Amino acid sequence: MQEEAILITGANGEIGHGLIHHLAKQNQAVIALDLQPLDEVLQPLVLHWQTGDILDFPLLEKLFEKYRFSVVFHLASILSTKAEHNPELAHRVNVEGTLNLLRLSSAQSSRNHHSVRFIYPSSIAVYGLPTLAVKQAAGKVREDQFTQPTTMYGINKLYCEHLGRYYSKHYKQLADSANPDDLLDFRSLRFPGLISSDTVPTGGTSDYGPEMLHAAAKGAPYNCFVRPDARLPFMVMPDAVKSLVMLAAAPRENLSQTVYNVTSFSPNAQELKDITLQTFPEAEIHFVPDHDRQGIVDSWPADIDDTAARQDWYWQPDYDFERAFKDYLSPAIRRRYC
């Protein structure tokens, strides 16, 4: 008899930390997979942790033989800046790794006649606005607009959204079986830049937000790699975790689409600096734009429209810009470094 559990890939990453803490409070049995041994703080919170690569199909097969996964949170990926330095590796990890997990989740759904819920964090990187003027005029971008990404990461995420939709709605559409419970249940969120008080992301292009804040808390000078007027949507980690678990719990019949924007606030880099200085007035933050990374930020929307998530599964963030800093980031980061 297989033990029922929730699988989290990329468990050591930023979102993994927040999600494991959240699921542990609900006494959920979590299997954590990551390239590196699971962070010691997280080890007591999971049923089992496994060091391994999502490209190692036999290893994944063993996990799917041993456990019956009610939900898979597939968080492992190579982010946008790192992916531009090795696009082919990013493609392997981001696309082939996702395909491995979709295949095994799909096979398990069909074997048990019970859909595995496959929760896939996608990104604002799937958008590609052609010019800064178009970005400024576009306002809140809907899920179906401007999906012409310029980065390997964005292209990988957009394609995997489609792969997930295929596996959950059209997989082997010419075969006889028509039982929807035999197919996996794929659901995706497009996240904005994420900011956590506990961890700093690695290899992303929205990283100037969290990097600026963590450097200020540590008393380290920070050179921000985008212009003061660069604007992106952001969200704090408790809201990111909330959106993942809300989407995973939503009744299937409420979902009118497979991919949903979620967001909270959209500051420019100057506004991020100003609010950081309110908590850490001594912080030394300079703007030293990097032409190429700025180009990526300019191609991502200034804001995204999350009306569909609000309507279909009652998504609402707990933290606006002021509250995110006043009630979550500033106190938690002070406790961490000061």
Assess contact for 241 and 118: CB atoms under 8 A: no
**Considering the complex, what minimum distance in angstroms separates the CB of residue 155 from ligand SER?**
12
The token pair at 155 is 């292209």
C-beta of 191 vs 325, nearer to ligand SER:
191
Chain positions 11 to 50 lying near ligand SER, rule: CB under 6 A, are none
DSSP, res 42:
T
Q: Could you say whether residue 125 binds ligand SER (CB under 6 A)?
A: yes
C-beta of 105 vs 299, nearer to ligand SER:
299
Q: Judged by CB under 6 A, which of 191, 222, 313, 315 binds ligand SER?
A: 191
Q: Could you say whether residue 226 binds ligand SER (CB under 6 A)?
A: no
Q: Judged by CB under 6 A, which of 193, 210, 289, 301 binds ligand SER?
A: 193
Q: Could you say whether residue 188 binds ligand SER (CB under 6 A)?
A: no
Q: Judged by CB under 6 A, which of 105, 109, 110, 123 binds ligand SER?
A: 123
CB-nearest residue to ligand SER: 204
Q: Cβ atoms within 10 A of the Cβ of 108, count?
A: 20
Assess contact for 184 and 115: CB atoms under 8 A: yes
Q: Judged by CB under 6 A, which of 118, 120, 153, 319 binds ligand SER?
A: 153
The candidate with the shortest Cα–Cα distance to 240, out of 322, 122, 161, 96, is: 122
Rounded to whole angstroms, how far apart are CA atoms 337 and 216? 10
Q: In 3-state terms, what secondary structure has residue 62?
A: helix
Looking at the chain, which runs of residues are DSSP E strands? Answer: 3-9, 30-34, 48-51, 67-74, 117-123, 140-141, 185-191, 193-195, 222-224, 234-236, 259-261, 285-287, 303-304
Q: Could you say whether residue 79 binds ligand SER (CB under 6 A)?
A: yes
Q: Judged by CB under 6 A, which of 196, 206, 276, 330 binds ligand SER?
A: 206
* Binding range to ligand SER, per CB under 6 A, among 11-19, 43-51, 122-130, 162-170: 122-130
End-to-end CA distance of the chain: 49
Q: Could you say whether residue 115 binds ligand SER (CB under 6 A)?
A: no
The candidate with the shortest Cα–Cα distance to 126, out of 207, 189, 49, is: 189
The candidate with the shortest Cα–Cα distance to 68, out of 120, 110, 108, 22, is: 108
Q: Could you say whether residue 204 binds ligand SER (CB under 6 A)?
A: yes
The token pair at 158 is 């957009």
C-beta of 123 vs 330, nearer to ligand SER:
123
**Considering the complex, what minimum distance in angstroms separates the CB of residue 25 from ligand SER?**
26
Q: Which amino acid is at 264?
A: S
Contacts with ligand SER by CB under 6 A lie at 79-80, 123-125, 153, 191, 193, 204-206
